[in-house]
Amino acid sequence: MIRTSRISVVVTGTLAALVLAACSSSGGKQPAEASGAAKAGVADTPQMTIALITHAAPGDTFWDLVRKGAEAAAAKDNVDLQYQSDPDGANQANLVQSAIDKKVDGIAVTLAKPDAMKANVEKAVQGGIPVVALNGGIEDWKAMGISGYFGQDEKIAGEAAGERLKADGAKKALCVIQEQGHVGLEARCDGAKATFPDTEKIYVTGTDMPSVQAAITSKLQQDPSIDRVLALGAPFALTAVKSVKDASSSAKVVTFDTNKDLVTAIKNGEVEWAVDQQPYLQGYLAVDSLWLYKVNGNTIGGGQATLTGPAFIDKTNVANVEKFAANGTR
Amino acid sequence: MTATATEPGRAGATRDDRVASRSLAARLLSRPEVGSLIGAIVIFLLFMAVAVPFRNIANVGTILYGASTIGIMAVPVGLLMIGGEFDLSAGVAATTSGLSASLIAWNLGLNVWVGVILALVVSVAVGAFNGWLLFKTGLPSFLVTLGTFFILQGVNLGVTRLLTGNVATADISDMDGFVSAQKVFGSEIALGPVTLKVTVLYWVVLTLIAAYVLLRTRVGNWIFAVGGDAAAARAVGVPVKATKIGLFMAVGFCAWLSGMHLLFQFNTVQSGEGVGKEFIFIIAAVIGGCLLTGGYGSVIGASIGALIFGMTQLGINYAGWNPDWFKTFLGVMLLLATVVNVYVKLKADRR
């Protein structure tokens, strides 16, 4: 008995020592990071249900920000927000149908695949459910009878990126598309090509980071004249930084869209600049505008799209964005 | 492997072709991996001819890296297929492993190595769970692991959001143990002009170990036996259940290895990654001569399959072909490699 208890004391002691020794002295979860978005009072209007239906692929950091913006608006407006997403056009249209079936009070929807969405969105509008569009479908939302649009024009954003490349004195850019056949991503590259003709496209498999890295590396090795890598999403820009190093290339990395790590990379000079379309704002405005429409009959934009971008984040203004990015809201 | 049956009476007059020795060339050519080797050489020569950067020795590191991230998983998946089973959860399981290590270390503020070790436990447990479920339900492994594939996809996303509020893990590069773990899972070795990533080393070592186990040990015989005919294998005393569960756990172990590379190469892991890779592993094994029905194949072949995949993927970039057609080129190349493989095998068997 004495023996076993002594052993157990030794075992417990060793385990405790191991656990203590195992603690990291730096990094890890910080208590401050738990607090999320802006806090404000709650509206005293009766609770309503709003469905936010996007074409987000699971696990894309960009959509985290859209959702957080929508949740912040929902919390403030006493809205029960039901978030759903499916990258497949037909499936996303079905989600709109199920929102109609549930008789929600409003629908916010992305129109990345407008043809697939058209029928069900029009059904919702005709059924008296107010609908706003966000992020994708700037060409198509008006025709569907939707009351407002919040997003950026991908073509214009691409052109702005091309202008910036020209102003920076770049010679040749590589535009990295992480999802083949995605209209918005193609529009960005095409826009960049319109104002900066020496832009070449490359397709990579966005769900497989090692292959993204190897593909960009090989392209940089094949064509040493490339001096800018234009990524179309923050995680891919951060991977492109590694590719540039692997290929011993002197190319600089620029990108569309941001996340917390990308903001740090801009601050460190690893990434030159990012085109920001303010995804948080898109989600927030979409929900808030539906609430305004319901309680006061307002619409935003005067029948025109409300543009949330493009704006550039670079070394000169990154400090303003940094503290919000640390909260996971920029 | 299987001798052709001949009339017993004929043996006296002419030499019995059951014991006739085949020429060395014929014996070599009938190995399951030789077809893929020739396929690899054809692809290699093709890109050597059309892509200038492909000839640059310094770029070998990039090609081998692309191949190694597939190869690390193609080896155990090939073994599993020889053992007669599939694992569709292999790609997502690697992501699960990377996420577990990062989330455990980050949330609890622990040394990164604690996360790494616990992730190993999680990964091997996922493999064991696949095997256990296979025997518990008696369903085909295709279905069982398809279930795990979806379950893990959801868990990856759900748990990551629950713990971090985001869909990607936080950057853990400032935590204790990260630097040493990165040395183990994400470092580079310079060999003259070639910079090799550490995954290439793991890939080669795994291939050698797996080939030794398969061809030179009793366990290797068991793997062939359970894949060929599980009932017959059980009748002669092969531990069918243990062999198959062990194979699933080997896939789990390699998923851990590639998950750790994912984490320490990129500092964060996106929770949606890995979907679709499971088929690439299976394809690499099939190109390498593993039969979809089990009982036949080679891990060297699976590795060569991964090499073919890596060379094709990057060779198309090196050749600078129109990227719109990238996937089409990839498909044509893979078909080409497989056709060469089958052709060589047919020729050899006929001899």
Q: Work out the angle between the directed axes of helices B198-216 and B60-82 (0-180°, nearest 10).
A: 30
> In this structure, is residue B115 part of a structural domain?
yes
Q: Give the closest-approach CA distance of A170 to chain B in angstroms.
A: 21
Mutate to test the interface with A, among B151, B167, B199, B277 (most CBs of A within 10 A): B167
Give pTM, 2 decimals: 0.82
Residue among A210, A42, A240 at smallest CA distance from B265 = A210
Q: Is-contact B96 B156, C-beta < 8 A?
A: yes
> Domains in chain A, please, with CATH?
45-152+279-299 (3.40.50.2300), 154-276 (3.40.50.2300)
Q: Give the closest-approach CA distance of A44 to chain B in angstroms.
A: 27
Residues of B in contact with A22 (CB under 8 A): 110-111, 113-114
Provide the CB-side half-sphere exposure for A250 (13 A, CA): 5
Residues of A in contact with B164 (CB under 8 A): 29
With CB atoms and an 8 Å threshold, state whether A207 touches B273.
yes
SS3 A275: strand
> In this structure, is residue B22 part of a structural domain?
no
Task: Report the number of distinct structural domains present in chain B.
Answer: 1
Tell me how far apart the alpha carbons of residues A251 and A174 are, in angstroms, rounded to a whole number.
10
Residues of B in contact with A185 (CB under 8 A): none
> In this structure, is residue B21 part of a structural domain?
no
Residues of B in contact with A213 (CB under 8 A): 65, 265
Q: Is B274 left (phi over 0), alpha (psi -120 to 50) or beta?
A: left
Neighbour-count burial for B267-286, b at 16+ CB within 10 Å, e otherwise: bbbbbbbbbebbebbbbbbb
SS3 A232: coil
With CB atoms and an 8 Å threshold, state whether B317 touches A222.
yes
> In this structure, is residue B130 part of a structural domain?
yes
Residues of B in contact with A26 (CB under 8 A): 174-176
- Tens-digit pLDDT string for chain B (351 aa): 444 444 444 444 456 666 667 777 777 777 888 888 988 998 899 999 998 888 888 889 889 999 999 999 999 999 999 999 999 999 999 999 999 999 999 999 999 999 999 999 999 999 999 999 999 999 999 999 999 999 999 999 999 989 988 888 888 988 999 999 999 999 988 888 888 999 999 999 999 999 999 999 999 999 999 999 999 999 999 999 999 999 999 999 999 999 999 999 988 888 888 888 999 999 999 888 888 888 889 999 999 999 998 898 888 888 888 777 778 877 887 788 778 777 877 777 776
Q: Is-contact B323 A215, C-beta < 8 A?
A: no
> In this structure, is residue B190 part of a structural domain?
yes
With CB atoms and an 8 Å threshold, state whether B323 touches A210.
no
The residue segments making up the domain with residue B107 are 29-350
Alpha carbon A55 to chain centroid, angstroms: 11
> In this structure, is residue B9 part of a structural domain?
no
CATH of the domain at B224: 1.10.3470
